[in-house]
């Protein structure tokens, strides 16, 4: 019996390759199995890590100058008694645009990049929260940041406390 991959035959020596029979006359030797395992290990290492980014996008008259100001905004959103604010057309346009670009009803081969579907908040402050988690995270992050900047919205990154205003 010969290995279908490398054509080696089973050795009589105990350290030599063993050949294992498969269906329809196919066979594989132990050396080829080891090689396959190595290839698969390397391929797994090539899989890009899934980075996650949280972003909060606000429509504000003025860009906050400190994270304390952002915290105050987030507190207002968390306050169940905060008044409902008017829908912001620019924030709505942003929301619609990212939904169109990165649909949450995408086909199987293009999973949506969201850990949680984007959401518009209208309590206390008009805000869109984004939780990106995908092998394409970086690209999505750049895309949503560009869309927000184009629409004159404020972007806050809670991981780095970076505030980017129009
Ligand atoms: Zn072989």
Mean pLDDT value across the chain: 87
State the pLDDT at residue 107. 46
Query: Using one digit for the tens of pLDDT, what is the confidence trace for 51-70?
Result: 899 999 999 889 999 999 99
Cα of 35 from ligand 1 centre, angstroms: 9
Cα of 12 from ligand 1 centre, angstroms: 15
Cα of 30 from ligand 1 centre, angstroms: 7
Query: Using one digit for the tens of pLDDT, what is the confidence trace for 100-144?
Result: 887 654 444 567 888 888 999 888 889 999 999 888 888 899 999
Q: Where are the domains of the chain?
A: 1-47, 51-164
Question: Of the candidates 123, 133, 152, 135, which has an alpha carbon nearest to the alpha carbon of residue 55?
Answer: 133
Topology, domain 51-164: Alpha-Beta Plaits (3.30.70)
Average pLDDT over residues 18-43: 91
Kindly tell me if the per-residue pLDDT of 14 is higher than 80. Answer: no
Cα of 27 from ligand 1 centre, angstroms: 8
pTM equals 0.67
Cα of 43 from ligand 1 centre, angstroms: 20
Distance CA 105, CA 87 (A): 24
Cα of 25 from ligand 1 centre, angstroms: 14
State the pLDDT at residue 100. 84
Cα of 45 from ligand 1 centre, angstroms: 24
State the pLDDT at residue 138. 86
Cα of 3 from ligand 1 centre, angstroms: 5
Give the residue, 105 or 14, on which the prediction is more confident.
14
State the pLDDT at residue 103. 67
Query: What is the 3-class SS of 110-153, one letter each residue?
Result: CCCCEEEEEEEECECCCEEEEEEEECCHHHHHHHHHHHHHHCCC
DSSP 8-state code for residue 86: P
């Amino acid at each position: 019996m010969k290995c279908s991959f490398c054509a080696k035959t089973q050795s009589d020596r105990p350290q030599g390759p063993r050949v294992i029979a498969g269906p329809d006359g196919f066979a594989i030797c132990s050396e080829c199995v080891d090689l396959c395992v190595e290839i698969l290990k390397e391929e797994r290492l090539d899989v890009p890590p899934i980075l996650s980014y949280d972003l909060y996008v606000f429509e504000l008259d003025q860009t906050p100058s400190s994270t304390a100001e952002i915290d105050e905004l987030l507190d207002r959103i968390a306050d169940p008694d905060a008044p409902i604010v008017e829908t912001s057309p620019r924030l709505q346009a942003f929301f619609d645009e990212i939904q169109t670009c990165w649909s949450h009803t995408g086909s199987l081969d293009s999973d949506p990049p969201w850990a949680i579907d984007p959401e518009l908040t209208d309590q206390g402050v008009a805000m869109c929260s984004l939780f990106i988690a995908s092998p394409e995270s970086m690209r999505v992050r750049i895309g949503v940041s560009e869309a927000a900047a184009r629409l004159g919205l404020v972007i806050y990154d809670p991981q780095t406390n970076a505030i980017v205003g129009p």
